[in-house]
Chains A and B, each alone.
Chain A
Amino acid sequence: MKPANQNEIDVLLRSLARRNDRVVSAPLGSAEHLDADELNAFAEGIVTERARSRYSAHLAECDDCRAIAVNLTQSTGFAAPRLAPDVTPSPSFWQQLSGFLSYPVLRFVIPAIVLASIIGIGVVALRQDGPGEFVAKHEPTQQPNMDQANQVVPSQSPIPNELNAPAPSTQPVAGNSPAEARRGESAGSVAGVGPSEAPAPLQKQSDDQVSKATPTFAPDLSAPAEAPAPAPAYAERDRAQPLREEAAKKGADTEQFSARPQAKESVTSNRAATTVGAAANEPKQQKAPGLMGARRDNEDKDKNKTDTSEREDTRTVAGKRFVRQNNSWIDTAYQQRATTNVKRGSEQYRALVADETGLRPFAEQLGGEVIVVWKGRAYRFY
C-alpha cells in the first residue's frame, strides 16, 4: 500500500480513537475478565499461543485489563525477554535469504559475482607474476650486495662472533626453510660487511625498505621457531638505531602498504610482499632480527598488559563472575540472548530490585552497563 494510503488510514484510526468511549465493564474480579494470574502470565510472556490469542481478544476489548497488562509490562519489563532487538531471529534470516535469492536481486548479484571472479583471477595472476617482476626490477640494485653476500656466506659463522652474537642463533634459523635460509644469509652477509662498509646508497635503501617492509615481515619474523635466537644478537645495534626502529614500528602500526610508493607495484598481497621481500631485499634482514626482538618484546609487553587487563577486567560480585567488554560488565554465564533492559533509578529498576533483591549488588557494585543472568533471564542495567 502506498504511504499516502497508510496516512489516510492512520488519520482515520486516530479519529476513531478520539471518539472512543471507555467501556464500563464488570468488576475486575468477575469471570469475564482475566484474573491476576492470567494477566501476569500474559505480561511475562509465558502463555501458549492459543491462550495468548484468547487473552489478546479480551485485552483488545477491555480497557481495564489492558491497562493492567501495560502496567505490568512496563513496570517489570518481563515481556522484554521475548524480544530480540539485537539478535536477528531465524525466520527473518530465511526470509532475507529467500529475498536475496529472488530474481530482482540475483539479476544484479550474478553479474557482480562474475565481475568479482574476473578481478579475483586477475589478482591471483598478478600475485604469481609479482615476485618475478619485483626481483627483476631490484636485481641490479641488489646485485653488488648479493655478490658480497655470496662471498661472505661461507664465513658467516665467525662473523657474528665478532659482533658478540651467538653464531648458532643464525644457523638454525637459516636452516629452517629456503626463505629463512636466505634471511640468515643476508643477515650474515650484512653483518660480515659491517655497517661502515656497506655502500651508502644501498644502506639508505635498505633502511627505507626495512622501515616500509617490516610490517609484511612481521608475521614470519615473529614465528616461534625463529624468534628467540636472533633477538639478542642485534639488540645492541638496534638500540644504536632508534630512529629506524621507530620508523619500522610506525610502519608496522599504521602505514602498512599505503606508504610504499616505490615498491607499490610489487605489492599485490601481504603474502606476495612477504615472499618478495624475503627473496630480494636481503639487506634489510640485518634489521629484521632486531626488529623481531623488539617486536617480540612489545608482544611480551602487550601480553603482560593483556594479562593484567584481563585481571582488571574480571570481577566477581555475589558469586557471579563478570568480564568487561566494551565498557560493559558481562556475566560469564551470559550467552547471546535478548536482555531485559533496565535503567538504574527508573521505576522499573526499583520494581525489579524490590522483587529480586539479589540483583541489587550487581547493579550497584558494577558501574556502567552490566549484563547479568538471573533466574534464567538476562538483565541489562545501564
Chain B
Amino acid sequence: MPSKTLPSASRTSRRVSIDFTIADVGPQAVSHKLEQLDKLSAEGAKRLLARAADDYGVPVTSLQQRIKATLQKHLLRDEDDASPAVITEFVDKLQADDLCLIVACEQGNQRAWDDLVERFSPTVRSAARGASSNEEAAEDLAQSIWAELHGLRRGEDGQPTGKLAYYSGRGSLAGWLRAVVAQLAIDQHRKQSRLVQTEEDADFDRIVQSSNQHEWSGREPVVNPEDQTSRKLAAAEMQRALANAVQQLAAEDRLLVKLYYFDGLRLKEAGAVLGVHEATASRRLTRVHTELRRQVESVLMNDKGWTKSETDEAFSKFAVGLDTDIEPLLAADNVLTKKENEIAG
C-alpha cells in the first residue's frame, strides 16, 4: 500500500500552536487572554458536544484543545483582538458532527473509524478518480489516503502523525478529505515527473544560450521604438513592467489574473473560486486592466523616459501581434531572472 512520505518535522511545524505571542501587550494581558480563550473554548466544546448528533463519547477536554487550535489557526492569527462574542460565534459555526467523529477516530474509537470509512469512502473514491488518470491509480490513491488518515505512525512526541489531527472542523469533512486527496495526488505526480522537469531545465539552458548568441544584454536594453529590434525590446520592457505591476496588485486581484490568464479558467469559474459572481469578476477584471495599464505607463514614462506617444504606440503595436516575435527574448529574460533569484536565494 503506497503511502505519502512527508517529513515529520514539517508535520510538526504544521501542528497549530495555541500559544499567544502578542508583541505589544504585557504578560498579564496575555495571561488574561489565555484564560479567556480557555474558558470560551471549554464552553464552546460543551455546546458543540450538545449539538452533535453522535458525540462518540469524546471528552470535553479533548474537544476543547481542538477548538483552541482551530481558533488560533483560523481566527486569532488574523484577528488577535477578536471579541468573546466573535469567538463564541466562530465556535458555534464549527462542524459539530464531523469534528466529534474525527476526534473520536484520533482517540482510537473503532466505531467512529468504521463510521468514517463507511460514510466517506464514496467521497474519497470520487476525489481519487478525479485526480487520477485511471481506475487503478485512483484505487491506490484512495488506499494511501486511508493509511494517511489512520495515522499508523506516531511522532517523537508520541502524538499520532495522521492527518486527522489537522482537521479543524471549520469546513466540511468531505471537502477537507477532497483537499487531502488532491494534495497527495499532486505530491505523487510531482515525484513521478521529476525526470521530466530535469529535461525542462535543460531546455531553459538552451534558450539562454540561444538568446546570448543574439547578443541581447537582457536587463537594460536601449529603447528606441522606431527601430525594429528596439521595438521588440520595448515590448519586452513592457512585459517586464507588466509582470511587476501584476505583482503589485492586491492579493485577490492578482489571484483573479492568475486564474483567468495563467490557468485559463473562464470568468465564471474564476469568480467561483473567488466567491464572487461572474459579473463581479468581470468588473473586477476591467478595473485590474485599468490599474495595470496605468502602472505600466507610469513605469515606462517615469522610470524609462518614454514619451506618452511612444508608450501608446508600443501598446498598440504590441497588441497587433508583436508578442510572437519577442517570445524568445521574454523566455530568456525569464530564465535570467530565475537564475538571479537562485543566486540571491
Contact = CB atoms under 8 A, between A and B. Distances in A.
Interface stretch (B209-217, B249-257, B300-308): B249-257
A89 to B, nearest CB: 9
Interface in B220-267: 238-239, 242-243, 246, 250-252, 254-255, 257-259, 261-263, 265
Interface in B164-203: 166-168, 170-172, 174-176, 178-180, 182-183, 186-187, 190, 197
Given A28-B186, A66-B259, A354-B123, A53 B251 contact: yes
B53 to A, nearest CB: 12
* A-B interface, 9 closest residue pairs, ranked by CB to CB distance from nearest: A355-B174, A50-B78, A354-B122, A36-B179, A29-B6, A57-B251, A56-B251, A82-B275, A40-B171
Given A40-B178, A52-B252, A355-B122, 13 more contacts: A11-B319, A19-B331, A29-B7, A31-B13, A37-B166, A40-B179, A43-B171, A46-B93, A48-B75, A57-B255, A64-B186, A71-B178, A75-B178
Interface in A341-356: 347, 350-351, 354-356
A79 B272 contact: yes
Interface stretch (B28-36, B56-64, B151-159, B289-297): B289-297
> Interface residues of B: mostly helix, strand, loop or mixed?
helix
A40 B6 CA distance: 20
Interface in A40-99: 40-41, 43-48, 50-54, 56-57, 59-60, 64, 66-80, 82-85
Contacts of B137: none
Contact of A1 (B122, B255, B290): B290
A40 B79 CA distance: 20
A46 B171 contact: yes
Contacts of A84: 277
B43 interface: no
Contacts of A1: 286, 289-290, 293
Nearest to B290: A1
Contacts of B10: 27, 29-31
Nearest to A27: B187
14 contacts: A11-B319, A12-B318, A30-B10, A30-B13, A52-B252, A57-B251, A64-B186, A70-B265, A71-B131, A71-B182, A78-B172, A82-B276, A85-B278, A354-B125
Nearest to B338: A21
A5 to B, nearest CB: 6
B166 A35 contact: yes
A353 B46 CA distance: 31
Interface string A1-20: 10011111111111111111
A231 interface: no
B78 A20 contact: no
Given A12-B242, A40-B171, A70-B259, A29 B179 contact: no
A64 B184 CA distance: 11
A291 interface: no
Nearest to A51: B78
A223 B7 CA distance: 83
Interface of A: 1, 4-21, 24, 27-31, 35-41, 43-48, 50-54, 56-57, 59-60, 64, 66-80, 82-85, 347, 350-351, 354-357
A170 B209 CA distance: 108
Interface size class of B (residues with CB under 8 A): 35 or more
Nearest to B122: A354
Contact of A68 (B11, B183, B263): B183
Contacts of A43: 171, 175, 179, 273
B193 to A, nearest CB: 10
A53 B265 CA distance: 20
Nearest to B120: A355
Contacts of B204: 21
A78 B175 contact: yes
